[in-house]
Amino acid sequence: MNEKTQKKTLWEEFNDLGGMPLWLYLACAAILLVVVMTGALGTDITAFIAVTMVIAIIFNKIGKVLPIWNTYIGGGLLMVFFGTAVLKQFNLIPQEYVDLIGNMVQGDVNILNVFIIALITGSILSLDRNVLIRSFGGYIPTILGGLAGAALFGCAVGLIFGVSPVDAIVRYVLPVMGGGNGAGAVPLSQIYEQVSGEPAANYYSFAIIILTIANLFCIVAGALLNRLGQIRPELTGDGTNIMPVDSKLIKEDVKVKVTLNDYCGTLLLVGTIFAVGRLFSKVLLPTILGAQIHNFAYSIIFVVIISALGIIPANIRAAARNLQGVMTSVVGITLMVGMGVDFDLAELVSAASPSNLLIALLIVIGAVVGSALVGKLVGFYPIDAAVTAGLCMANRGGSGDMAVLGAANRLELISYAQLSSRVGGGIVLIIASFVFSFFL
């Protein structure tokens, strides 16, 4: 047996924590704990790095080696997410660092934006232009397939609990499939208030509960779909593309040499792509048919255009691909700590009634089935279509995308996931405007 494929013992696994031997990790953790308890660490970006990494490294390792969890539940990234959520729930992370992590990851600093835009840029620029055009051309129908499947399954199980099809769509399907909280549940509640005359809070308070339950099901479903792909490899690719690409991904080899200087240009390109998205979403075309369009949706469209035109040099494309790899393997586990401190386990438990659980579960299953079937028809891998166009429509937007793709081991499909959350969420808002107007 090849030495690289030999299974490590438990000691060998835990003697490699972020590249450190166990004793060195424990020494760092102990020092950090003492400094935090004295109040001397502070709350700047260096403190953020220290606190998040000491949490992320150990939980990531536990998730990778824990039987059943590492195969069926979601591995290291998902253990970081839930482990952090448990620490926060029991107040084992000082509040000042909960606030710091939240602010750095999704607040004023918003490292999550850097992570997402870098992954979008790398994943799209690394695709052959013909594959790129074909994949994005078939993606909207796949999203609509997932939406139709969610509506069908949700209405069917709703009838069992005495929920009419209209109520199932208005109160359950639309919030779950709306693209998350800020881009989905919040604007949906505002549309509800405008149409019905009732306070937006009446709609939002229930919508966010259903969305939270569905988000958890999406995460677990992502891990299960990843396992299905391991059992049935013909249903999926290698986790980096949504359709067969005939090995046309840009790779760093003898023909495409990447220097450290190339990463300077790549970072400038990443920032420019983000800036174009902001320009369109804030100034030039903030809404389409009354639906708010997120800046990431415009950023995706822009990078698709420049990639299809072939105007980006191969060295910058390869550097963008490499930067994407750094983001997924290093920055990703840090951001999962941020997702964990933003997750309320108590809220989830309080809302877990049998009817809510089953309706949310069937909506998620419907989204998976519908997107997988339509995805197969347009030439996508069914599993990858189900993860991106199905589960990433039914989760809690950007943070939900991270958790689902992490559980499914498909972080490099972030551009498709963002299309689901942003463009797909916009489609749901347009549909909601008509549904609320006609049936409320």
pLDDT tens-digit profile of 22-78? Answer: 999 999 999 999 999 988 998 899 999 999 999 999 999 998 888 877 766 667 877
Q: Looking at 79, 106, 133, which one is the last position of a domain?
A: 106
Mean pLDDT score, 100-128: 83
> Cα(122)–Cα(120) distance, rounded to whole angstroms?
6
Cβ of 297: how many Cβ atoms within 10 Å? 24
Specify the number of domains making up the chain.
Answer: 2
- Strand ranges in 324-407 using DSSP code E only, listed in sequence order: none
Enter the DSSP assignment of 179.
Answer: S
Residues 273 and 392 grouped into a single domain: yes
DSSP state letter for 248: -
pLDDT for 316-369, tens place per residue? 998 998 888 888 778 888 888 887 887 777 766 776 788 889 999 999 999 999
Regarding whether 145 and 61 lie in a shared domain, the answer is no
Tokens of 83: 């482990």
Predicted confidence (pLDDT) per residue in 140-176, tens digit = 899 999 999 999 999 999 999 999 999 999 989 999 9
Domain presence at residue 411: yes
pTM above 0.75, yes or no: no
Note whether 289 and 415 are same-domain residues. yes
Q: Taking Cα atoms as reference points, which of 410, 354, 377, 391 lies closest to residue 149?
A: 391
* Helix (H), strand (E) at residue 428: helix 425-439
Q: Are 66 and 115 within one domain?
A: no
> By residue range, what is the domain housing residue 300?
111-439
